[in-house]
């Protein structure tokens, strides 16, 4: 019972904030446009500042772990290749790209940070996971959505440059790299700056979760239902079951293991819908996958965390 209470304390507050976002949207306090703007604010400003704060105040040499970063990169690459391979079995060629992206791409930055803050009071190893997988996520998404376009797009120099520019200008990457540089140079933070950053960054998690909940549209959850359900099973069950044991075997514990869990088993990021639509895909499957994985992850993440807790791994 103690282990179950620990898991519920870690997951329920997070998903209650998302439910609150749904309630606000249903009551008219938040509309779709405002939810999109709130999402943009969190990912472009609040979340990067939160990651910067945690990393800049840490001893980077003590926290850096090449083995862990390499593991996250390789596991993510394997998930991408599996997703692409399975997408080729779909009869409808027009949704293969969306299926592949929705199956591997996680809400790592938001939910990973939320989980670690809730359990350990710090973003912990999430910043290392971001370094290892966010550039890969973006590059893979551009390649997949280009090659698997309904009209069979081709990878061009312009697209590659666009992908690289997107990575270099990604606010979350900028926040992480800025924090690393600050920590390496051991630049002191005046009290005024430190408190201002702390106050601002505190908005990231609650506003991000509320925005995610407000973006939920149950009508879209039932569009393209069958492939979206397959994405959901892959994202929330298959990938964690396949790779969490490997993480345990390699000796990862506590915040690192929780970070791997959120990397593998959190909901599909809303960014996958935005990118699919902007690159000429119909995007209904992406929207359905986001909705279904968001809903079911409330149960699956609690279950995975409970298993790790009773095994005394977190």
Predicted pLDDT of residue 151: 62
Fold designation for 2-310: Na+/H+ antiporter like fold (1.20.1530)
CB 115 within 8 A of CB 254: no
**Domain residue limits, the chain:** 2-310
Neighbour count for residue 44 (Cβ, 10 Å): 14
DSSP assignment of 251-308 equals: T--HHHHHHHHHHHHSPBPHHHHHHHHHTT---HHHHHHHHHHHHHHHHHHHHHHHHH
Cβ–Cβ < 8 Å for 75, 68: no
State the pLDDT at residue 87.
92
pLDDT by residue for the chain (314 residues), tens only, comes to 676 787 777 777 878 888 888 899 889 888 888 888 888 888 888 888 887 887 787 777 777 888 999 999 999 999 999 999 999 998 888 888 899 999 998 888 777 777 777 777 776 677 788 878 888 887 888 788 877 876 655 656 776 777 677 777 778 778 888 888 888 888 888 888 888 988 998 888 788 888 878 877 767 667 778 899 999 999 999 999 999 999 999 999 888 998 899 899 888 887 787 777 767 777 778 888 888 888 888 889 889 989 998 998 87
pLDDT score for 84: 93
Q: What are phi and psi of 106, to 5 degrees?
A: -100, 160
């Amino acid at each position: 019972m103690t282990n179950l209470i620990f898991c519920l304390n870690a997951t329920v507050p997070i998903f209650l904030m998302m439910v609150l976002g749904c309630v606000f949207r249903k009551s008219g306090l938040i509309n779709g446009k405002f939810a999109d703007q709130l999402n943009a604010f969190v990912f472009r400003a609040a979340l990067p500042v939160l990651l910067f704060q945690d990393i800049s105040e840490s001893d980077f040499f003590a926290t850096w772990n090449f083995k862990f970063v390499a593991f996250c990169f390789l596991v993510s690459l394997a998930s991408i290749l599996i997703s692409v391979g399975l997408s080729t079995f779909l009869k409808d060629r027009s949704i293969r790209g969306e299926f592949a992206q929705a199956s591997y791409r996680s809400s790592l930055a938001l939910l990973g940070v939320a989980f670690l803050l809730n359990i350990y009071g710090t973003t912990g190893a999430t910043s290392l996971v971001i370094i290892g997988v966010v550039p890969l996520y973006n590059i893979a998404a551009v390649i997949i959505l280009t090659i698997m376009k309904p009209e069979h797009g081709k990878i061009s120099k312009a697209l590659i440059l666009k992908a690289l520019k997107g990575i270099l200008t990604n606010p979350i990457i900028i926040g992480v790299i800025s924090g690393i540089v600050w920590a390496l140079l051991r630049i002191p933070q005046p009290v005024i700056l430190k408190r201002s950053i702390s106050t601002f960054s505190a908005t990231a998690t609650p506003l991000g979760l509320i925005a995610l909940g407000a973006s939920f549209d149950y009508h879209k959850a039932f569009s393209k239902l069958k492939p979206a359900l397959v994405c959901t099973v892959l994202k929330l069950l298959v990938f964690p079951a396949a790779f969490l044991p490997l993480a345990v075997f390699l000796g990862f514990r506590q915040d690192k293991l929780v970070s791997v869990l959120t990397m593998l088993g959190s909901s599909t990021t809303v960014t996958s819908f935005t990118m699919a639509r902007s690159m000429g895909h119909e995007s209904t499957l992406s929207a359905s996958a986001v909705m279904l994985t968001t809903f079911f992850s409330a149960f699956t993440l609690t279950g995975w965390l409970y298993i790790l807790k009773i095994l005394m791994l977190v």
